[in-house]
Structure 1
Amino acid sequence: MKKTILFNLSFVFLMLLVSCHKEMEVTSFENVTESVTLQSVVGDEAIISFTSFGTWNVTTDAVWLSLSPLSGEAGEGQVKVTAIFENNTNKLREAKVKLSSGDEVCEISVFQEIGDYVLPEKDEYLVDVDGGMFTIRFETNVEAEKLKVYTSSEPGSWLRQESSSRSATAETQEVTLNAAPNRGGMSRSAYLLFIKEEDGVQKELATVKISQLGGQVLESVDYSADGKIDTLQQHTKGDGISIVLMGDGFVDQELANGTYRSVMEKTMENLFTEEPVKSLREYFDVYMINAVSENNDFGMGYKTAFSCKLTGGNSTTITGDDASVQVYVGKVLKEEKRKNSLAVVVLNTSAYAGTTYFGYQDGNGKFIEFAIAYCPVIESLESEYFRQVLVHEAIGHGFGKLEDEYVYPEKGSVTTLEMQRIRIMQANGWAQNVDFTASADTVLWAPFLTDSHYQNEHLGVYEGACTYSEGIYRPSEDSMMNSNTCAFNAPSRKSLYEKVMKIGTAVEEVTYEDFVAFDIAHLPEMIPMANYTRVTSVGYPFARPVWVSGQRFR
């Protein structure tokens, strides 16, 4: 018995010696920076240093941080970390950067100091039909004389600011508002904007949405028409490319009196108003499916078929219940058709907004063409805004997987994380209307730059796209993917043409010559961009399309 115990103890001791020996072996990294701290300023930088004994790569899940470079060889290494967003919270922010070589992973902490912040008690307030006085409370570290609070509604309108006060013992403040009654209309919204003003510079720190119930909002009582499918157009060429139209915020009365169908038919007509899809319309199948909402209005207190929400304020973003949209598409199409289909959800509101979602994957992890475009009936059915935004979102982003070509000057240089996302898209044949090189010889649309057929379009390599002003380039000064007010430029038309041929006719490869022959036949004399009728913008530039990060297609 003693021999057995001694043997077991000896074995355990031997194993401990082996484990200690492994821990003492040379690792893949030495002299790794343990942590760095960034200021709460966009663009603030720090360096992570290390020595690597093999090839390495670095990653992070933090969206407020960019890394460069993302990989390297053995030897002395450095990674620059850059803050791409401010820290507008009341806590020190921390991110983990993972440095990997083989199976070994080192974690480095990156901290960001607290910046200016305003933290409202709630992001949205609901006021009843009768209106009245109410108070909004918030925390802030901004000095009282520098913090200004504004309402987005015009002076004398339904919402006005009565007073504000600040506690002397805590970083708290409150604003009292007065809402007028709204017995005779639909619901309405306004925004409370918290602005820091210093040395003539304004910085928005927070936005609160104030919604008021309306006195004329309708409620459905009959859902029997829900899910009914109508074919608005059938393809006469190719295999058929499916577009499924549906509405959100339409009640049973609006389906019964023909309003819903009129909206869907006008939506279809608007989709085919720009080349090349205008001349390729015969390849498309267009369906409408009824979606009966409980209410014909949006916001707190109301329910709609796809739970769409308009962010409002300075944002044109729309969110919706994507899973429910996919269920309705599934009522119309079988799985294989669904993978290459486009869903268009039209919101029963005149708000200026629009957002597209794509980047879904099938069960094998392969990216598919399916996309969801959300767009309101902006202003009215006959409005040019409605047509332009619908084409930009549904055809440009949703069908063509084209990127935005406009710029927010304050965004600066394109981030490493953004470059990674766009390159993933481009590897799938998407986002062919932007590039990261200024070279006219190697840019993605290089063949167009020396083609005499396209001299009138003034194509070139223009810096600024995807909201970034530096480090990323677009093919033309303006286009449908920029201001929405003019045609798709030639590289974008080529992407759309290729998409129709590949999905609608199963052609694997479309040559440049094939496209030019088609394009010249349908656009014999391209109208210079400057000659397009422009409409003065009514709202803010749109948010980027939403990349769903490989979300599984249902």
Structure 2
Amino acid sequence: MKKFCIWLLAFLLWACSEENDKEPELFSLSVPSLSFSSGGGSKVVGVDTNTDWVILTESLPAWLSVKDVADDYVVLVAEMNDTEEKRSSNVMFSTPSETYSLNIRQNAREQLAFQGKTEWTVSSEEEDYEIPVSRNVSFDMKILDNGEEWLSMSSNSGNHPPLGGIQAEIGNSDTDSLTVHVKENTHQESRKARLVIYNDQYALADTLFVTQEQAAKKYADGTYMRLQQAVKGKVNVVVMGDGFTSADLREGGNYEKAVHEAVEHFFSIEPFTSYRDYFNVYTVVAESPEAGVGEKGRFGSSVDNKFGTMFGEGTEITCKDERVFEYAYRVEELDKEEPMLVILVLNSTKYAGTTYMYSDGNAIALCPMSAEASPNDFEGLVHHEAGGHGFGFLCDEYVYYQTQIPKSRVQEIKEWQLLGYQTNLDFTGNEEEIRWKDFIGLDKYEAVGAYEGGFEYQFGVWRSEANSCMNDNVPYFNVQSRWAIVNRIMELSGLPYTVEDFIRDDPGSVRLQQESRGHFSSTPFRPLGTPVLIRR
């Protein structure tokens, strides 16, 4: 029994010694990960192991396969990646006791191209353009065909130099943009250049063909043009602008657009719409050294413009009126003995307005291109200042003070009424004596009566209808205002005309009265500058 126990102990010790002498499993790959270019291909991965191993092929994506397997290596094959997205997968190696992973990555298809059209035509003006670029590689840029004389460009994402032959992972396609600065073309010929983006490592390049138009024709300072010729009468209107610089004087440019817009606004309200054929309309080009309009009392707000226009207190505007007339009379057809209206468009979006009215029949209406909502917009200012004050010589009808109109104001208006000015107001509420008594009681003028309030004061002064353009800029002139306007058109045209003729011809009077009831503006009204009356 003792001998048996000794033998068993010896056997166990031998067995334990055999177990301890067994070598542990070793497995390693020659690379921690593998990267393929978009073109695909095959790569060898070395295997260092002391045990059996297999690749779990069910884990392989469709674009990756095993070409060859030996005890100490494997050949992996990636197909071409013709997409704009990179891709990756893990190859699983299995031994009797462990599973090992090898990460495989493949670059997206290398891409570098201008997006959209490859031929651009730009204007002759100096300007910056944003050009989109689709890419997933870095790139460089160059300008060909002497374009560097008038073109420059930069990458908005920061331009990195090309990869320079160093293999790098290509990410998914992204969109960047180039800023291309184009200088003004002052020549009477168009010019062309090529913009090139490229990456030498991947042999990628794309070209954008740029054509710049020839210099636009510019209107010279002091030149004039007839915009419309009268066919029935001979009323003269001159439209000019202030605060417009050389850059605005191109054919089809800001000056021309502003002038034409003012003209259309002037004739977009009755009775000017129906009597448009009685007007000669001219424009004179006025180039200002600096853009915009100055502002009184503010440091650094002086603007060197042609006619010295400046915003004053509230909505007041001033100008150098003699210079305005000097330029207006550049129109050779104008007779200085014949009155004219000058509409001076200001290169500003501010809400303001003032009209200079002269006893000799001339007027200057200062109209900024207001960006406020209708009826306080540019059109509303032209209606009120140019159509109402400047041509119709109408007085404001809004009420600002809940008091009696001062006797000095009454006397001032009556003196101007003797010259035919400000006849849209009266100082009696007696419907049998009031200035517009001829319209009261007629079916087509059912809205006409004696409405107290006008020229800023609530009491002691009357107007012909509840609301009108001279109250809050709404696009409607009341009947007395229309009569004053049409009567002046006929006087300036040398044509006989009576109030009976007006009643017969008054355009859409019933419709206009009906519409006027809904013309009370929902936009808060701010009084415009008080008209400046000048005797000479």
User: What range describes the TM-score normalised by the shorter chain of this pair?
Assistant: 0.5 to 0.7
| Deviation (angstroms), 1:529 | 4.4
Residue 330 (structure 1) shift:
1.4
The residue that corresponds to 2:349 in the other structure is 350
**What corresponds to 1:138 in structure 2?**
none
Who is 1:528 aligned against?
514
1: CA distance, partners of 2:302 / 2:380: 31
> Which residue is 2:274 aligned to?
279
Residue matched to 1:267: 262
- Aligned partner of 2:189 in structure 1 is none
Alignment partner, residue 367 of structure 2: 375
Q: Distance in 2 between matches of 1:384 and 1:338?
A: 34
Structure number with greater Rg is: 2
Check whether the contact 2:271–2:485 (CA below 8 A) recurs between aligned residues: yes
Aligned with 1:409: secondary structure?
A: strand
Query: What RMSD, in angstroms, separates the aligned Cα atoms of the two structures?
Result: 2.3
> Could you report, residue by residue, the CA deviation over 1:261-287 in whole angstroms, capped at 9, with x for unpaired residues?
011001100000111111000010111
Q: 2:232 & 2:464 partners in 1: Cα distance?
A: 31
State the match for 1:301 in structure 2. Answer: 302
- 8 Å Cα contact 1:466-1:544 kept in structure 2: no
Matched, 1:481 2:474: no
User: CA offset at residue 245 of structure 1?
Assistant: 0.6
Quick one: which amino acid aligns to residue 517 of structure 1? R
Matched to 2:502, the amino acid is F
Name the CA shift for 1:228/1:303 in 2 (closer, same or farther; >3 Å).
same
Q: Tell me the residue number matched to 2:224.
A: 229
Residue in structure 1 matched with residue 530 of structure 2 by the alignment: 544
Distance of 2:462 and 2:483 partners within structure 1? 17
Report deviation, 1:421: 1.6
Corresponding residue for 2:454? 465
| SS in structure 1 at match of 2:527 | coil
Instruction: Summarize the Cα distance change of 1:393–1:263 in structure 2 as closer, same or farther, 3 Å threshold.
Output: same
Distance 1:381 1:413, change over 3 A: closer
> Displacement, 1:489?
0.6
Structure 1 residues 375 and 224: CA distance shift in structure 2, 3 A: closer
Is 1:250 aligned with 2:259?
Answer: no
Q: Report whether the alignment pairs 1:428 with 2:436.
A: no
Name the CA distance, whole Å, in 2 between partners of 1:517 and 1:495.
15
**Structure 1 residues 434 and 262 mapped into 2: Cα distance closer, same or farther (>3 Å)?**
same
Match for 1:459: what amino acid?
A: V
In the TM superposition, residue 351 of structure 1 has moved relative to its aligned partner by 0.2
Using the size of structure 1 for normalisation, the TM-score is 0.54
Give the aligned partner of residue 386 of structure 1.
378
What is the CA-CA distance between 1:252 and the residue it aligns to? 0.3
> Structure 2: which amino acid aligns with 1:402?
L
Maintained 8 Å contact 1:409/1:468: yes
Question: What is the alpha-carbon distance in structure 2 between the residues aligned to residue 435 and residue 475 of structure 1?
Answer: 9
Note if contact 2:340-2:362 (Cα within 8 Å) is conserved in structure 1. yes
- 1:316 aligned partner: 315
Say how many residue pairs are matched: 313
| TM-score of the pair, normalised by structure 2 | 0.55
CA shift at 1:384, angstroms? 6.5
SS of the residue aligned with 2:315?
strand
Deviation at 1:416, TM superposition (A): 2.1
Pairs within 5 Å for 1:128-527? 225-238=220-233, 240-256=234-250, 258-299=253-294, 300-312=301-313, 315-333=314-332, 336-337=335-336, 339-359=338-358, 367-379=359-371, 385-410=377-402, 412-455=403-446, 458-504=447-493, 506-507=494-495, 510-519=497-506, 522-523=508-509, 525-527=511-513
In 2, Cα distance between equivalents of 1:539 and 1:230:
36
Per the TM alignment, residue 344 of structure 1 is displaced from its structure 2 partner at its CA by: 0.7
The one-letter code of the counterpart of 1:323 is E
1:263–1:381 CA contact under 8 A, matched in 2? no
Residue 523 of structure 1 and its aligned partner are, at CA, apart by 3.9
**Paired residue secondary structure (2:399):** coil
CA distance in 2, matches of 1:389, 1:246: 15
Counterpart of 2:463, as a letter, is R
In 1, Cα distance between the equivalents of 2:290 and 2:405? 42
Q: CA deviation at 1:525?
A: 3.2
Cα distance change, pair 233–477 in 1 and its aligned pair in 2 (3 A): same
Q: Cα–Cα, structure 1 residues 287 and 538, in superposed 2: closer, same or farther, change >3 Å?
A: farther
1:391-437: CA deviation from partner (whole Å, max 9, x where unpaired): 11101111111111111125x22222212221112111222110111
Q: Separation in 1 of the partners of 2:404 and 2:395?
A: 16
1:107 match:
none
Q: Kindly indicate whether the alpha-carbon contact (under 8 Å) linking 1:329 and 1:338 is maintained by their aligned counterparts in 2.
A: no
Does structure 1 conserve the Cα–Cα contact (< 8 Å) formed by 2:270 and 2:477?
yes
